[in-house]
Each structure stands twice: as C-alpha cells, then as structure tokens.
Structure 1
Amino acid sequence: MGRSDVLSSDTAASLSLPRHHLPRAEEFLYLPPWAQPYAYRVVDKLFAHRTIRCGPQPRSLPRGPELSLRDIADGSEFDVGAFMDRNAMVGILVIHRGRVVLERYALGLQEHDRWSTMSTVKSMTTMLVGAAIHDGAIKSLDEALTRYLPELKGSAYDGVTLRHLLTMSSGVRWNENYADSTSDVNRYSKSLANRVPGGVLKLMASLTRAHAPGTTFLYNSGDTYLLGAALSKAIGTTLADYMSERIWQPAGMERDAFYTLENEDGQEIGGSRAGMILRDFGRFGLFVLDDGVIDGRRVLPEGWVDETAKPAFEVPAPSAADITHYGYSWWLGDGVMSALGHAGQRVDLFRKEQLIVVTLGAFPEPAYAPPNDHHRRDEVVAFTRLVRTAVT
C-alpha cells in the first residue's frame, strides 16, 4: 500500500486547495485603489446579503442613435473613454425618452456584473416607503420611529419620526467621515463586516443628541438603516422581498439584485452597499420618471415623487457642484433629482427632459489620492451637464 493511500482524514483536510482572496470587508469604505474595482463587484461575497429576485422577462430597453457629445468650450468631440480613464469610471448609462443613447463599461465591469450601489440605494429605499404608504402599511410619515422600534425608547432617537429619517434631520450626533477608521460610519461598517446580530441597533441606541429632531440636516447612514428596519416592521416582510414584489419584478429588472444584511438572515441595510447591474440602475430611474406607475398600475402614491423632490433642507457645501438641497433621501439641484453614493456612484434624473444619467465609479479614497488630485465629482457633473445640453 502506497503512502498516499494511507493519508488520514485530518491530513487530507489540510491539503492545499485553490482559494480566492477577498478584500477585508471591515475596510470597505477605505480600500486601496487596486482593490476597489474588484471589491465593488463582489459585495455579496464580503457581506451577508439577501437576493432581490427579478422576474422571468426583463423590460426591453430600446436603443437610439449613440449620443454625440461635443465639448461646449471648444466644439471638439468629447472623448468618453478618456473621461472614464481620468476619473476611474466603471460604467455610464444614458437613457433619453426611454431609449438608451450611451452605454459604456470599464475597469473589468461586465454587463452582467452587479456593482455596489453605495448610498444610491437610500433613494431607492425611499421609494419602498412610498409603496408602503400606498399599501396602507404606513399611515403617516409623522409616526414615531419608536412605534416600530421600541428598543430605541429612551435613546436619542426617542421623538424622531419617519420624516426626520427621510430628510436626515434626526438631530442625532453622527460622524460620516469615511477616511476616519474610528468614525461612526466605520464602526457601523465594521459591525456589518463582522456580521454582529443587533450590532447596528446597539450602536444607534448609544448615540447622543446634537439638535432637536427636524431642525438640522446632518447626513447619517445610520438613519437610513433605522428607516429600513422600521419599514420591515411596517410591511411584515423583508425589504428584499418587498422590493422584488412591488418594483423589481413588475418593472422588468434584468437580473437579481441584493440588499446586504446586518448578519446572516438579519435586517437589510436600507441605505448602502446593495448590488445591481448598470442597466437596472437605469430601469429604476425609468420607474421614478414614470411616477411609480408600471403598466398602468400605480405602485407609489400619486404625488409621491413630487413630494420626494421637494427641498427639505439646504445642504452645506461641498456636496456636489450642482446640488443645493436634500429632499426625501434624494439630493436636489437645478432640475435634477440625484441619488449619490460613495466613491463615484450617481443616478441623475432630469424629469422635465425625461433623461437618466447613471455614472458608476471607483474614485480613490483620500489616503490614496495623489497630491493636487483633480475633483472627480465636479468632472462627473460637467459630463452630466454636457449630456443634458446634447439632448435638449
């Protein structure tokens, strides 16, 4: 009998086998540039997640002539590829009047790859709140958060309403500095990476109050986590299943998407790091431009998109060159509703022009950006303006 025939089960278990190395999930918000384009494509491998199921037949996206972009300054042809290279862009999708007029991929992103939404999903979760109001599961935005999450009674969130969460005006003290590994947002992120049951709720309950609820705008990803948790209680099911039933399947999304979770089989993260393909970002934009009506059936209350796009607070600079106010989890500017996310994720909706511009990026984190680095967000805004001018 040969030596290889008498390997013990313990020895066999220790044999060298192929493995895939993944970026560290707890460093998700400050990964180095060489890890970002990979990590943002495999978020479902880094965090617990729940699938948002698509239906059997995707909504077709008719295609028009490719958009010809000319730089307004000198009349020269705009080089989309050079713009993507300079700004670490991975995907661009432009839909005008229901037709795709530009679709580009870079840095390894493929048409079937799901890319991290980052905080753009906050704006999408807000549409689920509208669906819950239409379904009668939520009676009023002025209901107390503690009606749904009684665990927060006696905390700084006592007295905060659903409306306060939608408008980032809970008044709770919060540090959203992604570059600071000890900030509240990174403590939140590390809890997700470690898949701690109840960890985020415990963190949120420990915070102190800085302002009276409803008086001051302060961007707080934890607020949207609580909004999603309250929404789950109101609808009596998971956000992923509700999104699938109310929007993803009826709107004809092309691929399954996902919400990340606090822990295995836990609460969805309503405000960050979900995943979907580029074209489904666009299809969600079409759902909003259609006022939440799918095939003649209303999913959102009449007037909900208008209400969402009403300025609730002026936002401090610098948020983005074209953004002046915040509504119900949407950033607002001159004729634009924007869903914005960390590291270059953006969905711009121009309702008057029936125009959707989706730009996905892997902007380097501040610690890795070169000295005197240019302002990528401003260049994306300039690109979007160029697109808007070209279609009008």
Structure 2
Amino acid sequence: MTSHLAEPARHLPAGEDFLLLPPTQQPVAYANVDAIFATRAILRGDRPRTLPRGPEIVPIYRIGGRDHGLADYLNRTQVAGLLVLRDGAIRLERYALGLTETTRWTTMSTVKSLTATLVGVALAEGRIGSMDETVSAHLPALRGSAYDAVTIRHLLTMSSGVRWSEDYTDRASEVNRYSKSLGDKVPGGVLALMRSLPAEASPGSRFAYCTGDTYVLGCLVSAAMREDLATTMSRAIWGPAGMEFDAFYTLESDGGQEIGGSRAGVALRDLGRFGQFILEDGVAGGRRILPEGWVAEAGRRHFALDPAGNSYGADGYGYSWWIDPAGAMVAVGFAGQSIFIDRATQTVIVTLSCWPQPPFTAAHGIDFGAERRAFQAGVLAALVR
C-alpha cells in the first residue's frame, strides 16, 4: 500500500450530486463550482464599466398578510447576493452566506439566457444565416437523430419535441443522467445522451423545458463561430460590456465543450452588467453587438405559459428568457438564481440564492417563488418613492 504525508486537503461535494445537495452544502458548492467541475475562463476586458451608486432604496414587500423588509427577504429565502440597478446605477447591493464581491457564484440555468444571446452575436457576425437552420446542419454528431428536424429557433424556445425529464429528485431522469456525465467528466457524454433521445412531439409544437437543448445550442454556436464558447462570450460581450471580473463556463470534461445551459460562474455585479447590456439593446463600447431588434424578439412571448406551471410564475417564454406577466425578461436558475430585466422601468434585479431542495423544502414553510416575486414588486415600488 502506498502511503503519503497527511497534508491538508479540501473536501467538496461530488459533482454528480450538485442538484441534490442538503442546505449545509449548497453555499460552499455554489461558490466553488470551479473546484468541482472543469472550467474555461471568460476573460474580462481592459476597461471595466463603472457602475455609479445612487441613493439606496429600502424595499418593503407584503406576503402572507404581513409586511417584510430587506433583512427578512435575505433570511427567509437564503439569499447570498442581491443587486438592484436603475438606469445603470446601483441602488442596492448585499452579500451573505459567504459570498463576496469577487466570488464567481454558480449561475445555474440563468446562463441559458446568456448563451442564447450568443446566437444573436453569431447572426450579427454572419456565422449563422437563419434561425431556421437545422441543428444537424451544424453538428454532424447529431445527424440521424431526432435533432435532424430541430432548428435553432426550436432550441431557443425549448420546443425541440425531444423527450426530456427535468426532475431533479429522480436520479434516473435525463437531467440527472446529464448531471452525472458532467460530474464524471465524460468526453462526448452529453451529446451521446442527446443523440439517444427519441422525439415525443413535432418540433415547434409545444414548450417543454430541456436543459439538454441549451447544451446542444452551445455546441452549435461553438461550431458556427469556430471557436470556444468562452472565447466568443469574452470578445463579443464580456470585454465590450466592461465586465469587472473574469467569469467561467463549466466544461463537460477536461478541455472539452462548454456547458451552455448550467453551472457557469459569474460575480454578482457582472450579472448586473449583463442585464444592463440587454437593457441597452445589445450595444456596448459604442458599437452594436446584437442585431437590431434581437432583444425585442428575445423578450416576446413565443409560447404562452400558465404561471402556475413553472417555478418563476412566468406567463410566457422567449429566446431562453422567461417572460414575467408584467413583461420583464427573466433569466431563472435552480435554487433561486435570477436576473430580472424590466425594460419599461430600466431596472435590473439580480438574486443569488440557496433555496433548499426536497426533502428539506418542507421544513421552511415558504413559497420561495412567490416571495421573490413579492420582493421584486417591493423593489420597483421603492424605486419610485
């Protein structure tokens, strides 16, 4: 038996359990994604955008027949980071649960909205000619699969029709098979999984949330751009938009493909800057990055939804953006991550959280989604007082 010296070592949760962690492990895992998964850096530019600071707001929100304040919201919904921008100025910024200004916290699925925005970049640069180009035209690995009939538009609107279960509590679900492949860092493992899935509906006929579709979308953008997804994000958005910190995409394997739909790592204020980039219609550094009209099209309801049927309470879905009943574009991620972008009031609200997952949710007795929506309403009200 080989022995070694008893050196200090850090213990972190297993990657395959990332969606199943108890509350005690969530904060450390979410703040250390780059120590659990392989990653590729999204490099910042030379000129970070300064976010001026305006008067701090004091939001009050009402739920359960009672008024609650900021501290209540942070404590009740396990918030790690909170940022509010109005007209590009910081009006509220808070850190908790070990999060710091420099921490690249997990984006979870909010990164779907960021990755989808790169399709706009590819269109603007002529790398994609049409939203109706098929997936298999760009990805030979998926030829002969259900994705032969799926277009880029279908991927963006979660309407591929491919069979997929997003049940995080079922270890045999497609999303947990995907998660295990990522945790085990299997080269080509996710595309092999996606190739094996049968069609359940005609592409474009229904909305069905599928994290695997955004993985495929990221692969497609990489193939069309002929460069790593992180490189495209860095040169097209992270640099021009003046991000303060490097970010990262997680990878399916060491040196492999970026995971376009989950688990990236971004600092709180830079998520706010991304929201501001969307508010400014995809113009950054004095030049247009996204095609004219892209943000409006991304933010319209391509599918109408029942608000009771999704974790946010959205009544529509755009190009990988959930649409709030009042019209805001919202990037939503597992365990309470969100980027709320209200074009009508020029407001961005970023929330990073550790919402407990089953079976631990019941002990809290809180409707976390309703609490978030009530707080957002309180923020908007505070901004006009």
Equivalent in the alignment of 1:39: 29
Match among 322, 326, 329 for residue 317 of structure 2: 326
| Residue 344 (structure 2) pairs with residue 352 (structure 1) | yes
Counterpart secondary structure, 2:23: coil
Partner of 2:377: 385
1:115-171 per-residue CA deviation (whole Å, 9 max, x = no partner) reads 000000000111111011000000001001001112212211121000000000000
Q: Secondary structure at the match of 2:22?
A: coil
How far did residue 321 of structure 1 move?
A: 5.6
Matched with 1:66 is 56
1:145 aligns to what? 135
Q: Note the C-alpha offset of 1:75.
A: 12
- In the alignment, the residues of structure 1 paired with residue 310 and residue 84 of structure 2 have an alpha-carbon distance, to the nearest angstrom, of 23
Sort the Cα spacing of 1:128 and 1:321 in 2 relative to 1 into closer, same or farther, 3 A.
Answer: closer
Distance 1:278 1:224 in 2: 23
Residues 387, 147 of structure 1: CA spacing in aligned structure 2 closer, same or farther, 3 A cutoff?
same
One-letter identity of the residue aligned with 1:319 = N
Instruction: Give the whole-Å Cα distance in 2 for the aligned partners of 1:340 and 1:357.
Output: 12
In the TM superposition, residue 68 of structure 1 has moved relative to its aligned partner by 2.1
The percentage of counterpart residues that share the same residue type is: 52
Find out whether 1:18 has 2:8 as its counterpart.
Answer: yes
Amino acid across the alignment from 2:256:
G
The Cα shift of 1:366 comes to 1.2
Structure 2 letter corresponding to 1:225: Y
**2:155–2:217 Cα contact (<8 Å) kept:** yes
Cα distance, 1:302 vs structure 2: 0.3
Shift of the alpha carbon at 1:363? 0.5
Equivalent position of 1:290 in the other structure? 280
CA deviation string 1:41-74 (max 9, x = no partner): 0001111110000123311010001002234689
Residues 378, 149 of structure 1: alpha-carbon distance in 2 compared, 3 angstrom cutoff: same
Paired amino acid for 1:357: I
Aligned residue pair count: 382
**Would you say 1:225 and 2:215 are equivalent positions?**
yes
Match of 1:3 in 2: none
Task: Quote the Cα distance in structure 1 between the aligned partners of 2:192 and 2:68.
Answer: 50
Instruction: Report the Cα offset of residue 289 of structure 1.
Output: 0.4
- The one-letter code of the counterpart of 1:324 is D
**Mapped contact 2:58–2:70 kept (Cα < 8 A):** no
Separation of aligned partners in 2, 1:270 and 1:73: 35
Structure-1 residue corresponding to 2:198: 208
User: What is the rounded CA distance, in whole Å, between the counterparts of 1:326 and 1:208 in structure 2?
Assistant: 23
Please give the alpha-carbon distance, in whole angstroms, between the structure 2 residues aligned to 1:254 and 1:202.
36
Native 8 Å contact 1:129 1:231 kept in 2: yes
Is 2:297 aligned against 1:307?
A: yes
Q: Secondary structure at the match of 2:47?
A: coil
Q: Is the 8 A contact 1:320 1:378 kept in 2?
A: no
| Letter matched to residue 332 of structure 2 | L
Deviation of residue 235 (structure 1)? 0.2
Q: Deviations over 1:308-338 (max 9, x none)?
A: 0111112243314641000100000212100
1:74 and 1:310 mapped to 2: Cα distance?
Answer: 31
Give unmatched runs, 5+ long, in structure 2.
Answer: none
Measured in 2, the distance between the counterparts of 1:69 and 1:374 equals 19
After superposing the two structures, state which structure 1 stretch, 76-85 or 310-319, moved more. 76-85
The DSSP-based 3-state class of the residue aligned with 2:315 is: strand
Aligned to 2:73: 83
Give 1:250's aligned residue. 240
Which stretch shifts more, 154-163 or 365-374?
365-374
Q: Which ranges in structure 1 are unaligned for 5 or more consecutive residues?
A: 1-9
Distance 2:366 2:64 in 1: 21
The alpha carbon displacement at 1:79 in A equals 2.3
Q: Is the 8 A contact 1:70 1:76 kept in 2?
A: no
- Distance, in Å, in 1 between the alignment partners of 2:101 and 2:254 is 28
Matches of 1:232 and 1:155, distance apart in 2: 20
Matched with 1:165 is 155
Residue 97 of structure 2 corresponds to 107
Q: Deviations over 1:52-111 (max 9, x none)?
A: 001233110100010022346899985212211111111110000111000001111111
Give the TM-score normalised by structure 1.
0.94
Q: C-alpha separation between the residues in 1 aligned to 2:340 and 2:170?
A: 28
Deviation readout 1:330-369 (Å, 9 max, x if unpaired): 0002121000000000000000100001111100111222
Indicate the SS of the match to 2:234.
helix
Superposition deviation, residue 374 in structure 1? 1.2
- The answer to whether the Cα contact below 8 Å between 2:61 and 2:377 also exists between their aligned partners in 1 is no
2:28 aligned partner, one-letter code: Y
2:178 aligned with 1:188, yes or no? yes
Q: 1:205 to 1:100 in 2, by over 3 A?
A: same
Contact in 2 for aligned 1:145/1:162 (Cα 8 Å): yes
Contact 2:61–2:374 under 8 Å retained in 1: no
1:365 equivalent in structure 2: 357
Given that residues 84 and 349 in structure 2 are in contact (C-alpha distance below 8 angstroms), is that contact kept between their aligned partners in structure 1?
yes
Q: Is the 8 A contact 1:130 1:300 kept in 2?
A: yes
CA contact (8 A) 1:339 1:348 kept: yes
Which secondary structure state, in structure 1, belongs to the residue aligned with residue 260 of structure 2? coil
